[in-house]
Amino acid sequence: MHLPKLSFTSLCLLSLFVRLGMLIYGEWQDAHMQVKYTDIDYKVFSDAAGFVTRGESPYKRATYRYTPLLAFLLTPNIYVHKSFGKFLFIFADIVVGVLIHKILCLRGLQDQKAVNYSAMWLLNPVVANISTRGNAESLLGAMILLTLYWVIVKKFFAASILYGISVHFKIYPVIYAIPLLVLLDDEDYWGLRRKGKEKEHDRNSLKYWTGKLISIVTLLGIVFGKDIFFACFVQTFAFVIYNKVCTSQYFMWYICLFPFIIQSTTIRFFYKGLFMLFAWIVGQAFWLYQAYSLEFLGENTFFSIWLASIVFFVANIWILTEIVQNHVYEKWFELGKTRNIWKIREDMTNEQSLNNGSKYSVYS
């Protein structure tokens, strides 16, 4: 993927201006159009924050099913400005981009490549749209990436505290406990990985949908646990695919992890990667259009929604299968031991010093 050369600071500023522009447009759309730009969840957040400012429980607001921490964080929606939360989510978006860039550079990727891969998040229209509409998913993305970063730099206590907060914030990050435990265990799990590949297809024949979800996510965590970023990505992707409830903001759960797997795949953007992206976008657009026709136009599109859901599900299953089958272990993880991750980091630091600051890429 070739992008115009930008410094990382310029990329962050550009992404910030794009989001601010979308925020201004959203205010106009809310005031002039039937379909509102701001997500209904944002009003729920604000109403819950209003209860908190009056010393009451945020759960007095019907349909508020989130952590009380979120309501406390958004009390400035009442005290300062109604759009405070959106600015907070935009800030979290930028933090995620900074963490992506920092982790990629820490792992030895050349700076310009790290900038380009960070742009997959920072200039992603889906991400920018979801955050400026008032969804809090970027907050969780920042917590997850910071947890993984702290694990890499051996700040285990801080990582464990933040990971606990992440699970409290939303329950789904609990699935990362499996690859994290596998990563931190000195035992060699490659035997499990080889056996796991043989059993992977059999897991799809489980009788109950919940059983499928649990078994697939667990298996992926065990099989790829030593390659922590890839494990978290495929776990999250599978979790979203097989979840009975799916909304567009769920896609942010794995989009923030996507830049980390680009260099560990044999898939080329032309033409297979492009076709996979096309399948994901078209499948999602077909699915969202049918839902829009039902919710806002009052049309009877139940059969079309069912059909669109099948198409989108099959497209995502195919994408996940291709990603797993074309995965190549990075040098950080191919040895199968956590201690080798830190040893390679130390070797990289020493080599950079010997080469007068020259970059060493673990991907070369």
| Range 118-154 burial, b when 16+ CB lie within 10 A, else e | bbbbbbbeebbbbbbbbbbbbbbbbbbbbbbbbbbee
Assign 269 a pLDDT band (cuts: 50, 70, 90).
confident
Assign 108 a pLDDT band (cuts: 50, 70, 90).
confident
Assign 339 a pLDDT band (cuts: 50, 70, 90).
very low
pLDDT at 343: 52
Neighbours of 267 (CB within 10 A): 14
* Structure-token pair, residue 362: 């673990």
Q: Give the side-chain half-sphere CA count within 13 A for 296.
A: 10
Neighbours of 167 (CB within 10 A): 17
In this structure, are residues 66 and 45 in contact, taking their beta carbons and an 8 Å threshold?
yes
User: Which residue type, as a one-letter code, is found at position 273?
Assistant: G
pLDDT tens digits, one per residue of 221-230: 888 888 899 9
pLDDT at 292: 85
Residues near 302 by Cβ (< 8 Å), separated by ≥ 6? 294
* Alpha carbon distance 86, 93 (integer Å): 10
pLDDT tens digits, one per residue of 81-94: 999 999 999 999 99
* Alpha carbon distance 232, 332 (integer Å): 16
pLDDT over 50 (residue 218)? yes
pLDDT at 185: 75
- Look at the pTM and tell me if it is higher than 0.85: no
Assign 355 a pLDDT band (cuts: 50, 70, 90).
low
Once rounded to an integer, what is the mean pLDDT over residues 151-179?
94
Residue position matching structure tokens 């494990």: 231
